Amino acid sequence: CLTAYTYPIARMLDPHVDLLLVGDSVAMVLHGHATTLGASLEMMIAHGQAVMRGSAKACVVVDMPAGSYEVSVAQAVASARLIIGETGCQAVKLEGGVDMAAQIAAIVAEGIPVMGHIGLQPQSVDKDGGYKIKGRSRENIAALFRDAEAVEKAGAFSVVIEGTVEAVASGLTRHIAIPTIGIGASGDCDGQILVVDDMIGMTVDRVPKFVKEYAKLRDTIADAAARYADEVRSRAFPGPDHVFSAASGKDQA
């Protein structure tokens, strides 16, 4: 699994992954917000539509942004309906365990598949006092198991486990029957997900410990921009191959 926020990235990733997540991380990655709390329903729908246009086979899941489902079950159902109706995606994702079980169950009852999200929950970063790894205390481990059980019982088809001690995430995966998707969790999870910009080396700020960069595109892009600027200033670009002459006979750009 990987995140996707745009049509061209969805086109490139779709043949290779089982699931594309239109994550609320788009608020940080593409819109420059400090946290995912900058995401809105309108933002998620717009990016969900773009990804759906670029996806042919992958399951597309759209994040429900903070403020769109926590207030009440009715709000959660209405927001999920809107996302599905406007994007045509296959499922929605929301954060929370025991505290959001009623919302998950109600959305599932409407025929909308739900992916859960437990462990480190980026939408709760302000309440938690930062991006703190979960599963370090006996009390927190017990709470994580209760959350996993609640999400499964509510009818979620899978659950993301984020920022959780490896042994705990492994235990959670064995404890529940639904697939677990790890991010900063455990190799024992049934699947893995990364933010695509992190994975391809596009992130310009700090890269999380759990990320493996499979490319270094920030360097490639910076180098290309520098060479382009040099050639424009020196009038090396555009050259003969990049302009149209009256005799060329070509009607298409």
With contact defined as beta carbons under 8 Å apart, do 147 and 162 qualify? no
Can you give the C-alpha Rg of the chain in angstroms?
Answer: 21
Burial tier of 94 (Cβ tally within 10 Å: 0-12, 13-18, 19+): buried
Crossing angle of helices 73-87 and 101-109, in 10° steps, is 50
Find, among 183, 72, 175, the residue nearest to 117 by Cα. Answer: 183
Query: Token pair 């079980």 is at which residue?
Result: 101
Q: Is the dihedral of CA 134, 138, 140, 142 positive or negative?
A: positive
Q: Point out the catalytic residue in the list 70, 162, 213, 231.
A: 162
162 is catalytic: yes
Task: Tell me the catalytic residues.
Answer: 162
